[in-house]
Amino acid sequence: MKVNVVKNILDANDRIAMENRQRFDQCGLFAINLMSSPGAGKTTLLEEMGKGLKNRFKIGVIEGDIQSTIDAERVAKAGLAAVQIETDGACHLDANMIKSSLESLTLDALDLLVIENVGNLVCPAEFNTGEHAKVMLLSVAEGDDKPLKYPLMFRESKVLLISKIDLLPHVRCDVEMIRKTAKGLNPTIRIIEISSYTGQGLDEWHDWLAGQIATHSTHREE
C-alpha cells in the first residue's frame, strides 16, 4: 500500500510539473531547479548571478525554505525578482508549490527562473517541478563521498557545481574523486568548479546559462 501511495503522489506531481513546463516554454523561459545541502552556497551564488547577469537577463527566483524570508531578502537586494515559499517543515519543493507561486512573477518578462530548493540531498531530486534542468551545488567542505551516498542527486542533475573551491587548502576533499564518481553515475553531467568568493568558474557557469537561455527564448523571439 505504501508503494502505491508514493507512486500516486509522484504521478500527480509529474502532471502538475508538465503544466509548469508548458507555461515556461510558452514564455520562452529557461528554468532550473537549484539543489544542495544546507550551507553549500546557493543563495550566495544567486547574489553573484545578480551581479554578473542582471544587466543581460531578467532573472526570477523562487526561494524554498522551511521558515524565514532571509534568503529571499538577500536575493531581492541583489536585484533579482524573488518569491518566497515557506514549506512549514516539508523537506523539498514540489510542482504544486511552484505552480501556486508563479502568479507572483511576471513570467513573460523573465529570461531565467531559478527554483532554489530546500537544503536537502535526498527529496528534491525525486520531485520534478517543471524545470528544464536540475543543477546541484556541492561544496568541498562536505567531502568527496557525497556522490556515493546520494547518487540520485548526481544522476538527475545536468550540471554539478563544485563550490567553495577556495577552501580546498583547508579541507580534506578530493575533487578528482568527485568528478570520477559523478561521471560514473551520470556520464553527461557538466561539472564546473566555482568559488563565489574569488569568482573562479563563475564566467563558465554564466556562459552555460546564457547558452541555455538563448536556446529556450525562441518562442519569445517569434
What is the average per-residue pLDDT within 25-30? 95
Residue 121 Cα distances to 8, 33, 117, 171, 206, angstroms: 22, 13, 10, 20, 24
7: confidence class by pLDDT, cuts 50, 70, 90: low
Among 31, 27, 60, 57, which Cα is nearest to 221's? Answer: 27
Q: Is the pLDDT of residue 89 over 80?
A: no
- Other Cβ atoms less than 10 A from the Cβ of 95: the count is 22
Predicted pLDDT at 156: 96
First vs last Cα of the chain: how many Å apart? Answer: 49
221: confidence class by pLDDT, cuts 50, 70, 90: very low
pLDDT tens, position by position, 133-162: 999 999 999 999 999 999 999 999 999 999
> For residue 31, what are the β-bridge partners?
113
Give the chain's length.
222
CATH number of the domain encompassing residue 75: 3.40.50.300
Domain that holds residue 45: 2-221
111: confidence class by pLDDT, cuts 50, 70, 90: very high
Predicted pLDDT at 8: 61
5: confidence class by pLDDT, cuts 50, 70, 90: very low
The total of structural domains in the chain comes to 1
Are the CB atoms for 206 and 112 separated by under 8 Å? no
Considering the entire predicted model, what is its pTM? 0.90
Q: Is the pLDDT of residue 102 over 70?
A: yes
Q: List strands edge to edge, sheet with 112-116.
A: 81-86, 59-65, 112-116, 30-36, 133-139, 159-163, 190-193
Q: Which of 51-55, 63-67, 97-101, 124-128 has the lowest mean pLDDT?
A: 63-67
Among 114, 102, 109, which Cα is nearest to 75's? Answer: 114
Predicted pLDDT at 222: 46
Predicted pLDDT at 67: 61
Predicted pLDDT at 2: 46
